[in-house]
Structure 1
Amino acid sequence: MPRREGSPASGRPARILALLGPAFVAAIAYVDPGNVAANLTAGARYGYLLVWVLVAANVMAVLVQYLSAKLGVVTGRSLPEVLGERLPRPARLAYWGQAEVVAAATDLAEVIGGAIALYLLFGVPLVVGGIITGVVSLVLLALQARHGQRVFEQVVTGMLAVLAIGFCAGLLFSPPDAGSVLGGLVPRLEGADSLLLAASMLGATVMPHAIYLHSSLARDRVAYDVAQRRRQGLPPELARGASTRRLLTATRWDVVLALVLAGGVNIGMLLLAASALHGAGVAGTDTIEGAHAAITAALGPAVGLLFGIGLLCSGLASTSVGAYAGAEIMAGLLRVRVPLLGRRLVTLVPAVLLLATGLSPTWMLVVSQVVLSFGIPFAMIPLVVLTRRRDLLGEHRNALGTQVFAGLVAGVVVVLNVALLVLTFTGS
């Protein structure tokens, strides 16, 4: 009996493997310089105490990114496009405005991370490092425009692999205590400071631009796969249906594999700081520069070098992904595509100007995360609402259990970010 297209039997591993990639691009948002700073601070201050926070954060991230990708696969449109079709013009412009502010804040964090890495590795001044980071990201985006999404995905995935090695290599020289790691999986806190850090780690897990972009990347994968099916002789409707089923299967694997890798890197950074820096009385580990110096002093210059390379790849990849997301947000909500150079300059210039002020890079990272907190509800809530609608997703809409879990995740993330904003501005 011949196998039906789109059935599990026809979803051979090689075919599924060929469809992986979008989630690995989105996963870069989970290992950006802001995450690096938070993870190192958590491990240096509290040891293994907050391992459970990163595990919980990763579970939430898997669900959110899968819903984003599912929206793109089933509808053939990105989240910004779906919202752009449903919002009246004034609301659409206001929504785009907040999304652009979020994109600029994202780029600020990523450019700062790349600039710090170049300073640590080569002594490059921060302003020059910020410009270099922006130029390299422009080259990566030009690669995407010239050679297509698949090549861009492969390059970014390669950088994700390099930063994973760079950030986790130190564990070979300072392995964590297995018993302490298991103990860190038990949810508990030690005072108000650990609560604040845990809230920031959970609340800042979901990046708005990753939600917008993932739906766009998944949408483009649909067009590619349907074209492949049409070349096999399938009629348009059959090709679309078979492609949707196969891509949803591939998307589950893509999201799980990518975020297990990103989550593993985050946990690895926390474990490295816990094993090498906690209790050592090393000052300044609450900044990336201080943590790099402490890791170099504790584990040697080779590990410090690998960490710097990892941070550089994190900054370069994440700022490219952030700029790409900004372009997709504008195209979906305003139906306008600007030249690549113009799009890059819109968010790069503010970041470089802030670096030129001489303000603390770590403080600017904190401010960027506060701005991102404002944008999270605007991405999370529409995603949860839209993916439960039968008129939009049909048979693929969220099941009741998924709806409940997604609503809880959205509620937790939004509440935590509101709490962080209050604590940031009140100093409590």
Structure 2
Amino acid sequence: MDARSPGLASESSAEVAPTAPDGLGWRGERGDPSLAGMFASVRTARDGSFGRKLLAFLGPGYLVAVGYMDPGNWATSLAGGSKFGYALLTIALLSNVMAIVLQSLCTRLGVGAGRDLAQACRDAFPRWVAFPLWLSAEIAITATDLAEVIGTAIGLNLLFHIPLEIGVIITALDVFLILALQAFGFRWIEAFVVAMLGVIAACFAVQIALADPDWGAVIRGFAPTTEILRNPEMLYLALGILGATVMPHNLYLHSGLVQTRGYGPSLAERREAITLANIDSAIALCLALTINASILILAGATFHRTGRTDVAELDQAHAFLAPLLGSTLAPTLFAIALLCCGLNSTITATLSGQIVMEGFLNWRIAPWLRRLVTRLIAIVPAVVVTIWAGEKATGQLLILSQVVLSLQLPFAVVPLVMFTADRTKMGPFTAPRWLTVAAALIAALIIALNAKLVFDLIVR
């Protein structure tokens, strides 16, 4: 299927395809590119103003940003805001800074080495190392999909009163949305995602205006506090937010998505492509921070302020918004935004799953089949929990899925830092020392926090 966007990619892929540096320290050929049908399908501007060039690169960052505000993040942010007010805003900010740094390494790997993270792992590591890394990535994608299944089903329930068990099964049909968008080209996928993000942002803007938070307390919430480390419950939620913000599958996703752009093969063109792609992701991640902070602020301004410190369920939040804000519009907007988040997340989960499977295993199956497999893996536990424990357990399952993501992060972050710091692999696109140091500190912090979380869970 030709996935190129009409009017954007009139040149052949061979003329505009990203090319990996030759003679570098990879063990073998890259093999077939990620997302082969969309590889180099979006034509970029070789000449003209900086704004015109940037416009061609805007898009992948927003697909990556979707992973930073998926339904799983809603549960952790709602729980954190209702329990601790605005205190965890500092974690949302820290997570966003980490995300910008790590995603910049993804663009460097994808453009500079011409490989996505999965391909790089397969090429650089022996099979006994690459296989566990693939398994870890699949677990992360399954945890992501689990959050999307539950979040989308809850959105359908809140808006249309569809039972959760039925809503969970309906989510398997979203594969047809992906297929329809792919038929028109990659730019249509990006346009759909951006449109959904606009709806989500508008919904939260209205809800925040209705909640009228204490903006002085909100600003103070962005300041770091050691209480997060001293309070195991706060740390647990903080790690949940971290896992929902810096997501393992996004590192694989971004390193593949940047290769949908048809930048030229020269060093100058690839350096410019890295710069433009980094600007794209930074803008998109700032939007993600705004939405994530809005969820937490809304919970703090409504639930925490009125003494409801135990709100962790999405349907709970929906039910409480109307009486607390005095408007029936607020819960409807909340449900619409949640459903849009679920729909958006289905796209990014499909693409990241495809990149991981193709990159690690060099095994290509139809995207619709890949989507059904991952979705069915997520549907089974979601249906079991919903039927066995009822709606009350879905929020806890969402939070748990985000902690699982956080625990999987080092297995994606460490190889990414290693590859982009290796001059034999990256050549002139090797990450600057300051960037490598910053990314290594982020990786160390994530591993240390995860170790403390596991210790606290064991000794409880």
Give the TM-score normalised by structure 2.
0.83
Q: CA separation of 1:345/1:396 partners in 2, compared to 1, >3 Å: closer, same or farther?
A: same
Name structure 1 gaps, 5 residues minimum: 1-5, 227-238
Shift of 1:427: 6.2
- What residue number does 2:236 align with? 196
1:70 aligns with 2:108: yes
Aligned partner letter, 1:304: P
Query: Which has more helix, going by share of residues?
Result: 1
- What residue number does 1:99 align with? 137
Report the Cα distance in structure 1 between the residues aligned to 2:309 and 2:238, rounded to whole angstroms.
Answer: 21
Q: The residue matched to 2:304 in structure 1 has which SS?
A: coil
Report the Cα distance in structure 2 between the residues aligned to 1:35 and 1:392, rounded to whole angstroms.
Answer: 35
Report the Cα distance in structure 1 between the residues aligned to 2:276 and 2:301, rounded to whole angstroms.
Answer: 37
- What residue number does 2:72 align with? 34
- Maintained 8 Å contact 1:37/1:288: yes
Report the Cα distance in structure 2 between the residues aligned to 1:352 and 1:218, rounded to whole angstroms.
Answer: 30
Give the TM-score normalised by structure 1.
0.89
Aligned partner letter, 2:240: S
User: Out of 418, 421, 446, which is 1:388 matched to?
Assistant: 421
1:157 aligns with 2:194: yes
- What residue number does 1:87 align with? 125
Q: The residue matched to 2:166 in structure 1 has which SS?
A: helix
Report the Cα distance in structure 2 between the residues aligned to 1:427 and 1:324, rounded to whole angstroms.
Answer: 39
Q: CA separation of 1:7/1:395 partners in 2, compared to 1, >3 Å: closer, same or farther?
A: farther
User: Out of 145, 156, 159, which is 2:182 matched to?
Assistant: 145
Shift of 1:189: 5.1
Aligned residues: 407
Report the Cα distance in structure 2 between the residues aligned to 1:151 and 1:112, rounded to whole angstroms.
Answer: 26
User: Out of 412, 431, 439, which is 1:406 matched to?
Assistant: 439
- What residue number does 2:448 align with? 415
Shift of 1:316: 1.4
1:352 aligns with 2:385: no
Report the Cα distance in structure 1 between the residues aligned to 2:278 and 2:132, rounded to whole angstroms.
Answer: 33
- What residue number does 2:362 align with? 335
- Maintained 8 Å contact 1:284/1:291: no
1:211 aligns with 2:251: yes
- Maintained 8 Å contact 1:48/1:274: yes
- What residue number does 1:320 align with? 347
Q: Write out aligned runs for 1:231-246 (5 A).
A: 239-246=265-272
Q: CA separation of 1:427/1:165 partners in 2, compared to 1, >3 Å: closer, same or farther?
A: farther
- Maintained 8 Å contact 2:213/2:301: yes
User: Out of 286, 289, 295, which is 1:260 matched to?
Assistant: 286
- What residue number does 1:232 align with? none
Aligned partner letter, 1:133: T
Shift of 1:319: 2.4
Shift of 1:185: 2.4
- Maintained 8 Å contact 2:82/2:300: yes
Q: CA separation of 1:149/1:427 partners in 2, compared to 1, >3 Å: closer, same or farther?
A: farther
- Bigger drift between 55-64 and 369-378 goes to 369-378
Q: CA separation of 1:364/1:409 partners in 2, compared to 1, >3 Å: closer, same or farther?
A: same
Q: The residue matched to 2:67 in structure 1 has which SS?
A: helix
Q: CA separation of 1:115/1:203 partners in 2, compared to 1, >3 Å: closer, same or farther?
A: closer
Root mean square deviation of aligned Cα: 2.2
- What residue number does 2:24 align with? none
Report the Cα distance in structure 2 between the residues aligned to 1:272 and 1:367, rounded to whole angstroms.
Answer: 22
1:16 aligns with 2:54: yes
Shift of 1:364: 2.0
Shift of 1:163: 1.7
Q: Tell me which stretches of 4 or more aligned residues in structure 1 moved more than 6 Å.
A: 6-9
- What residue number does 2:21 align with? none
Shift of 1:47: 1.7
Percent identity over paired residues: 37
